[in-house]
Chain A
């Protein structure tokens, strides 16, 4: 029976490897899918080397993915992998033996054709495409049997800064994303399997669902998907601490640069890498500015801390709506952390606050029909409600957002929504649109849970929700994480922040968002022509009833990568305009223009590298293999998503052994009797 392969896509996250079969082209939906029952082992082994160089607040990261073909077939490896959601990816190098082939930037469709032509011609080629701001696909064609091809991807990002702490996050794996179906319909996966001819496929809510749901591998202890990490941090100022809450790294200091490394023991790629550092108190500079001159233009990256008048407590009465994600992807340690974060939030309520609790998976359940006063009884009741929660079902975030934003309004209360989730959804832009449209006077704060949350969703949801986001990766971060969050919730935000750039500068973000306690202003600017003199800016803003002014001086120096960071921020800003209803064709054109100029990956541009030297003749068919991602550490979804249980007993084996042994014994007994008789 030939079942339409796309049909099960809604249920099976699958991309099995083919074994010595003709190369299937992706079908119309772009699904990498081939099933075969005679497979023996995963053909491609993946190792990753990460090297991060931090200078000030700018990090240059090189991610080297080594694809080793362990099979006898020629392989095309396809790997969907995450990067930080603000990564400015501007380098691709393909390494074959000692040869290095530089990649080039092309429009997405053109790059794909370049790659496919090379693949068909038997040339070694690689393609890196952006699926989401934090999700990418590497394709590597014509890896010969036993051969290795390495892909080096280079990107820039800025270190995060919040509450006197710098941090960098490098995602290593992803939490499987929920792709919602149209409400009330049978998932495509089952429709169409019932009878032929197949009903026309309903348009899925996420057109590229197949491209963002790679297969999952069990976490840890695997022969593939290991990483070595080395980080060097030159902060430019004395540090009081530096370390990683996520990984065991050995660190050394030579008086100027901190080096952190996994040493020669690779780590499993089952959790995000996090590195944090703190500057010695009192030495924290309030302004950091970096400049670069590239192709006669100047670029500035500016980060500064607004004045500490932000100590003003929130004067208005608050109404907190806690929203907790109890979908299946939260299974394992995540749900426990989410529940304790929520309990910690409930404990921090004071008598004047009002609150409500909403839990969601496939369905939304609200504790009270409208927010209630935080009395001893209501908080107690909420704690009981939270304790009974468990994780299963889908991630219907849209319904939860609607439920939170449509709670009856109490005049005179500031509504703050605390959204606790792993953000494992594929329909991000639809959700951002909803938040922007329905936010009104509420503020949305996201709390990312788990070892591999969707940081893109967390950050942008908080941006459109005019709040802030925070992460809780481990159980011991719940209390400090919630304390930081409540610090933000309990203090007045800084508003109306403006910078008096000279006219020639093009600045992103074009509007500076409200800031919460401990958050810096970060902007990137460009001017035509070189920057010869220092420039002075006035930063102004309001906090509660007060206004403030701060003078900032930017002195020209030369840091590499500032231009790329500016370009990346411009692209993000352009893409955000989609939500304001600007035509996609115009946005696309503008993004392609920036991306091609700066050689940068975007939704509309890809990096492609082709080895022009003719490869060994491929004398067999190419086998396509989709590489998986490791189940995030602590997550239980792997029990379901990755690993189906062993569902056979050893009964037959024992019977076979027993019966064979008995037959053997009987046989030898008969033989020995015959021998004994004949020798008599």
Chain B
């Protein structure tokens, strides 16, 4: 076997390993997002049962904040508190400092456009959203608007006078790479509990 052929063989090997690894990571991310929700569901039940600071897995540094459901889209997630990159990998997350569900002010829940919040692409105005809080109260919201904004140029006001909810995810939904500036916002207002 001559030298170029050996190199080609190496290249092939390295390339194959890389390809397999990239594909594995690419397909693992949504699987992880899905699996985390199952673990979180258990932690959420414990939270509702009165356990404060129930941890979904032993080394977690966050705890479930609420359960967000959109029955018409057949979607339901446990929401973590704190919209950090790490939390978002596991669950839609409630942004610190924004209003708690049902409280006056804007409550902000962010999620990944290509895992949990994938379904938001087809959420019509009028859709009902439910948010169950730690005390088992369910707050009812109705979608009143969707909007696409540039996150570098647009800010959210948190100080509304009525309970409002906004779901934040990236836009466009089918973009290949992460980190784009556009966000898709779903605004909902409280309709009662």
A residues adjacent to B (C-beta < 8 A): 3, 7-8, 10-17, 35-37, 39, 42, 176, 178, 180-181, 183-187, 189-190, 193-194, 215-217, 327-329, 331, 361-363, 391-395, 628, 636-637, 639-659, 661-662, 664-665, 668-669, 672
How far is the CB of B129 from the nearest CB of chain A, in Å? 14
Contact between chains at A8 and B145 (CB < 8 Å): yes
Bound state CA distance, A176 and B154, in angstroms? 13
Interface string of B131-163 (1 = CB under 8 A from A): 000000000000011011111111111111110
When C-beta atoms are compared, the residue in chain B nearest to A335 turns out to be B97
Bound state CA distance, A640 and B159, in angstroms? 11
Contact between chains at B22 and A658 (CB < 8 Å): yes
Contact between chains at B178 and A653 (CB < 8 Å): yes
How far is the CB of B105 from the nearest CB of chain A, in Å? 4
Task: Flag the segment in B46-54, B55-63, B64-72, B179-187 that touches A.
Answer: B179-187
Contact between chains at B158 and A654 (CB < 8 Å): no
Evaluate whether A215 and B154 lie within 8 angstroms (CB atoms) in the complex, with A190-B189, A394-B161, A639-B97 already known.
yes
Instruction: Out of A36, A194, A216, A361, name the residue touching B105 (CB < 8 Å).
Output: A361
Contact between chains at B114 and A649 (CB < 8 Å): yes
Contact between chains at B161 and A181 (CB < 8 Å): yes
Interface string of B6-30 (1 = CB under 8 A from A): 0010001001101111111111011
How far is the CB of B107 from the nearest CB of chain A, in Å? 9
Evaluate whether A654 and B179 lie within 8 angstroms (CB atoms) in the complex, with A639-B95, A661-B22 already known.
no
Contact between chains at A645 and B83 (CB < 8 Å): yes
Cβ contacts under 8 Å, A641 to chain B: 155-158
B89 within 8 A of A: yes
B104 within 8 A of A: yes
Interface of B is mostly: mixed
Contact between chains at B149 and A651 (CB < 8 Å): no
Instruction: Out of B19, B29, B157, name the residue touching A11 (CB < 8 Å).
Output: B157
Contact between chains at A3 and B105 (CB < 8 Å): no
B88 within 8 A of A: yes
When C-beta atoms are compared, the residue in chain A nearest to B30 turns out to be A651
B175 within 8 A of A: yes
Cβ contacts under 8 Å, B169 to chain A: 647-648
Contact between chains at A14 and B159 (CB < 8 Å): no
Smallest CB-CB A-B distances: 5 pairs: A658-B22, A655-B26, A394-B159, A658-B23, A654-B26
Most buried by B among A12, A643, A648: A648
Cβ contacts under 8 Å, B18 to chain A: 658, 661
Contact between chains at A640 and B156 (CB < 8 Å): yes
Instruction: Out of A11, A184, A185, A652, name the residue touching B187 (CB < 8 Å).
Output: A11
19 contacts between A and B (CB under 8 A): A13-B154, A14-B153, A16-B149, A189-B160, A328-B98, A362-B104, A391-B97, A392-B105, A636-B96, A640-B98, A646-B178, A647-B88, A647-B111, A647-B112, A648-B180, A652-B177, A654-B23, A658-B23, A662-B19
When C-beta atoms are compared, the residue in chain B nearest to A328 turns out to be B158
Interface string of B101-137 (1 = CB under 8 A from A): 0011110101111110100000001000000000000
How far is the CB of B37 from the nearest CB of chain A, in Å? 14
Contact between chains at A645 and B15 (CB < 8 Å): no
Contact between chains at B22 and A648 (CB < 8 Å): no
When C-beta atoms are compared, the residue in chain A nearest to B117 turns out to be A647
Cβ contacts under 8 Å, B108 to chain A: 640
Cβ contacts under 8 Å, A644 to chain B: 110, 151, 156, 168, 183
B78 within 8 A of A: no
Evaluate whether A661 and B19 lie within 8 angstroms (CB atoms) in the complex, with A193-B145, A394-B105 already known.
yes
Contact between chains at A659 and B153 (CB < 8 Å): no
How far is the CB of A363 from the nearest CB of chain B, in Å? 7
Contact between chains at A650 and B113 (CB < 8 Å): no
Cβ contacts under 8 Å, B164 to chain A: 11, 187, 190
Instruction: Out of A12, A181, A185, A639, name the residue touching B147 (CB < 8 Å).
Output: A12
Cβ contacts under 8 Å, A176 to chain B: 155, 157
Bound state CA distance, A329 and B93, in angstroms? 20
Bound state CA distance, A662 and B21, in angstroms? 11
Cβ contacts under 8 Å, A39 to chain B: 150, 153, 181
When C-beta atoms are compared, the residue in chain A nearest to B156 turns out to be A640
Bound state CA distance, A669 and B19, in angstroms? 14
Bound state CA distance, A392 and B107, in angstroms? 10
B85 within 8 A of A: yes
Bound state CA distance, A391 and B103, in angstroms? 13
Bound state CA distance, A66 and B174, in angstroms? 39
B176 within 8 A of A: yes
Contact between chains at B26 and A653 (CB < 8 Å): yes
Contact between chains at B19 and A658 (CB < 8 Å): yes
B99 within 8 A of A: yes
Contact between chains at B175 and A648 (CB < 8 Å): yes
Cβ contacts under 8 Å, B24 to chain A: 658
Cβ contacts under 8 Å, B175 to chain A: 648, 652
Instruction: Out of B150, B155, B178, name the residue touching A650 (CB < 8 Å).
Output: B178
Cβ contacts under 8 Å, B21 to chain A: 658
